[in-house]
Amino acid sequence: MKNALAIICLSLLVAVAGTVGVCGVATASEREPVRLVVLGDSLVAGYDLPEEDAFPSQLERVLIERGHDVKVVNAGVSGDTSTGGLSRLKWAVADGTDLVIVELGANDALRGVPPKNTAKALHAIITRLQMRGIAVLLAGMRAPPNMGPDYEVEFNAIYGRLAEQLDVPLYPFFLDGVAANPNFNLPDGMHPNAQGVAEIVERIRPTVEALIIELAAKGETAGH
**Percent of the chain scored above 90 by pLDDT?**
81
**Each residue of 114-145: pLDDT tens digit?**
999 999 999 999 999 999 999 999 999 999 99
Least confident of 54-68, 77-91, 158-172, 210-224: 210-224
- Please say if the pLDDT value at position 25 is more than 50: no
Predicted local distance difference test score (pLDDT) of residue 217: 84
Contacts of 88 (CB under 8 A, 6+ apart): 77
Active-site residue, selected from the candidate residues 80, 82, 108, 191: 191
Active-site residue, selected from the candidate residues 41, 42, 82, 98: 42
Mean pLDDT for 62-67 is 97
Burial pattern 94-127, b for ≥16 Cβ within 10 A else e, equals eeebbbbbbbbbbbbbbeebebeebbebbbebbe
Mean pLDDT for 194-201 is 98
Q: How many CA atoms lie within 13 A of 59 on its CB side?
A: 27
Least confident of 13-27, 34-48, 94-108, 156-170: 13-27
Predicted local distance difference test score (pLDDT) of residue 218: 80
The pTM (predicted TM-score) of the whole model is 0.85
- Please say if the pLDDT value at position 27 is more than 50: no
C-beta atoms surrounding 131 within 10 Å: 8
191 catalytic? Reply is yes
Beta bridge partners of 35: 71
Whole-number Å distance between alpha carbons of 162 and 150: 19
Whole-number Å distance between alpha carbons of 157 and 155: 5
- Please say if the pLDDT value at position 7 is more than 60: no
Active-site residue, selected from the candidate residues 48, 82, 188, 224: 188
Mean pLDDT for 65-81 is 97
Burial pattern 31-53, b for ≥16 Cβ within 10 A else e, equals eebbbbbbbbbbbbbbbebeeeb
**With bands split at pLDDT 50, 70 and 90, how would you rate the model's confidence at 30?**
low
**With bands split at pLDDT 50, 70 and 90, how would you rate the model's confidence at 81?**
very high
42 catalytic? Reply is yes
Average pLDDT, the chain: 88
